[in-house]
């Protein structure tokens, strides 16, 4: 089976004349179409808001596209807060969901007026000691433990996750926060990752909605919002059916009307913190075949490596590959597609059936728009690539330049050795 690319071979051949491979390329048209569908799917909820998971694709040009549609920023670190502030996201446009949080990050989030989402009950006193008060609006992250199943299929194991509070801790946290002056409350949970099923969000919503009702009854707090977090996945393999976001939104609506509305809680806003779903399919890594090796296996060496896309090396994750211009050729060659790192797991594909690859062929590695560039690193002194945006009109915009050796050595600039490195 095949996947369609959002860029043509002719377009890529023009792009590489100005921007050498490898690079990440993003599809503006697809991003805009997707956010419109998401907003439509949850339009039934008056307070609905998407907080884009900045960690997935921390690029201000892409975040600003989403902000045109009213999206906020989900941040989990100091620099992500800085990026959000730089694009004009302030106060309730920021959801700060972190864990094992340093004091200076809580302080910065408070200065920005962000909604702080506490990962642990011990963070209540920690936060108060750092900023000198408890915010009037605050959220707590919930982890019910156990396994999260859909139709007897295990989707994930929250009980083995480091995130969130137990049920007992959550109820105690709300009571403590109320006593300390909090007025508005949110509940947040992330129970499964990259689910390719329309059932996940409605089932998660039912868990959180039922907890919200009990919290209101037992603590008397006002639940302002329920944050379904992320977890809606994308079809990395061509045989998977993509999620139907409109069906998902309607499923959440039905549970909302079943659980919250009868309790007089139809003012509760629904928030999401999607990253992979927002950007994943609308980015690709473009690389060139530069070597071939015939030993115990057939290898194609490309000019990208795990520095540019870590997921296959780190997780054994599947990313579909298209050899541009050969989409209709028979998949009759078995290759390992590899990078140049001094690590044997630096492979984008293992025993992948592809058309015959010739040196100079351009390869598109699909679905790198989230957790692609952002997970990059500099092992072996390899440099991160450029990021480009394929505009709606077919033009191309540079939205991050490629790193240079000067960037790699920049943190030596306070030492004498830098004079030789920076020559």
87-121 pLDDT, tens digit per residue, is: 999 999 999 999 999 999 999 999 999 999 999 99
Q: Which residues make up the CATH 2.40.37.10 domain(s) of the chain?
A: 284-412
Q: What's the pLDDT tens digit per position in 130-158?
A: 999 999 999 999 998 766 666 555 555 67
165: which DSSP letter?
A: B
**How many distinct helices (H) and strands (E) make up the chain?**
13, 19
Catalytic residue among 75, 284, 305, 342: 342
Task: Tell me what pLDDT residue 241 has.
Answer: 93
Active-site residue, 342 included: yes
pLDDT digits (tens, 9 = 90+) for 47-83: 999 999 999 999 999 999 999 999 999 999 999 999 9
User: Tell me: the pLDDT tens digits for 216-248?
Assistant: 999 999 999 999 999 999 999 999 999 999 999
- Res 156: pLDDT: 55
pLDDT at residue 297, rounded to an integer: 97
Note the pLDDT of residue 308.
98
| The predicted structure's pLDDT at residue 151 | 59
Alpha-carbon gap, residue 131 to 75, rounded angstroms: 18
Q: Which of 139-153, 317-331, 345-359 has the lowest mean pLDDT?
A: 139-153
Strands (E), 196-339: 222-227, 269-272, 283-294, 298-302, 321-323, 333-338
3-state secondary structure of 387: strand
User: What pLDDT is attached to residue 422?
Assistant: 72
- Residue 173 gets the label, from left (phi > 0), alpha (psi -120 to 50) or beta, of alpha
Where in the chain do CATH 3.20.20.10 domains reside?
Answer: 28-280
The fold for domain 284-412 equals: Lyase, Ornithine Decarboxylase; Chain A, domain 1 (2.40.37)
Q: What is the C-alpha to C-alpha distance for residues 80 and 90, in angstroms, rounded to an integer?
A: 12
Of 263, 244, 309, 179, nearest to 38 by C-alpha is 244
Average pLDDT across the chain, whole number: 95
83, 85, 89: which is closest to 50 by C-alpha?
89
Cβ neighbourhood burial of 190 (10 Å; 0-12, 13-18, 19+): buried
- The size of the chain, in residues, is 423
Q: What is the pTM of this model?
A: 0.95
Q: What is the model's pLDDT at position 149? A: 63
The DSSP symbol for 45 reads S
Per-residue pLDDT, averaged over 377-400, amounts to 97
- Does 373 have pLDDT greater than 80? yes
Specify the 3-state DSSP secondary structure of 295: coil
Q: How confident is the model at residue 421 (pLDDT cuts 50, 70, 90)?
A: confident
CB 189 within 8 A of CB 271: no
Residue 399, CA distances (Å) to 60, 64, 112, 387 in order: 8, 12, 26, 6
Maximum distance among all Cα pairs of the chain, rounded to whole angstroms: 71
Nearest CA among 399, 305, 321 for reference residue 367? 321
Q: What tens digit of pLDDT does each residue of 273-315 get? A: 999 999 999 999 999 999 999 999 999 999 999 999 999 999 9
Predicted pLDDT at 296: 97
Residue 199 above 60 pLDDT? yes
As a whole number of angstroms, the distance between CA 18 and CA 211 comes to 55
Instruction: Classify domain 28-280 at the CATH topology level.
Output: TIM Barrel (3.20.20)
For 240, which DSSP code?
Answer: S
What residues pair up with 23 in beta bridges, in sequence order? 286, 386
**First vs last Cα of the chain: how many Å apart?**
50
Give the confidence band of 191 by pLDDT, cuts at 50, 70, 90: confident
């Amino acid at each position: 089976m095949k996947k369609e690319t959002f860029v043509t071979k002719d377009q890529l051949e023009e792009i590489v004349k100005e921007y050498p491979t490898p690079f990440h390329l993003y599809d503006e048209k697809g991003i805009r179409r997707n956010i419109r569908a998401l907003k439509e799917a949850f339009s039934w909820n008056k307070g609905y808001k998407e907080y884009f998971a900045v960690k997935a694709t921390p690029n201000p040009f892409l975040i600003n596209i989403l902000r045109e549609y009213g999206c906020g920023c989900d941040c989990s670190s100091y620099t992500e807060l800085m990026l959000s502030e730089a694009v004009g996201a302030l106060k309730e446009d920021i959801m700060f969901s972190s864990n094992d949080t340093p004091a200076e990050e809580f302080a910065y989030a408070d200065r920005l007026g962000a909604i702080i989402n506490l990962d642990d009950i011990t963070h209540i006193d920690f936060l108060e000691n750092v900023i000198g008060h408890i915010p009037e609006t605050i959220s707590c992250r919930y982890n019910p433990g156990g396994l999260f199943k859909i139709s007897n299929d295990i989707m994930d194991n929250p009980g083995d996750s480091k995130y969130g509070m137990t049920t007992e801790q959550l109820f105690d946290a709300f009571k403590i926060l109320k006593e300390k002056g909090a007025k508005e409350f949110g509940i947040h949970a992330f129970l499964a990752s990259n689910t390719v099923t329309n059932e996940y969000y409605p089932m998660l919503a039912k868990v959180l909605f039922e907890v919200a009702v009990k919290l209101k009854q037992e603590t008397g707090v006002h639940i302002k919002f329920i944050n379904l977090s992320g977890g809606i996945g994308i079809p990395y393999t061509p045989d998977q059916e993509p999620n139907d976001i409109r069906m998902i939104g309607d499923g959440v609506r039905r549970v909302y009307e079943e659980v919250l509305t009868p309790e007089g809680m139809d003012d509760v806003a629904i928030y999401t913190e999607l990253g992979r779903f927002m950007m994943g399919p609308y980015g690709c890594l473009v690389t060139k075949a530069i070597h071939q090796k015939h030993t115990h296996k057939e290898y194609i060496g490309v000019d990208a490596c795990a520095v540019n896309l870590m997921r296959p090396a780190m997780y054994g994750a599947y990313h579909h590959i298209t050899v541009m211009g050969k989409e209709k050729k028979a998949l009759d060659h078995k290759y390992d597609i590899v990078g140049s790192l001094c690590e044997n797991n630096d492979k984008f594909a293992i025993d992948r059936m592809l058309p015959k690859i010739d040196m100079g062929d351009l390869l598109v590695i699909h679905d790198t728009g989230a957790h692609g560039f952002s997970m990059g690193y500099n092992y072996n002194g390899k440099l991160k690539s450029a990021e480009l945006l394929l505009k709606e009109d077919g033009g191309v915009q540079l939205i991050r330049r490629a790193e240079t050796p000067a960037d790699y050595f920049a943190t030596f600039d306070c030492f004498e050795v830098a004079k030789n490195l920076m020559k």
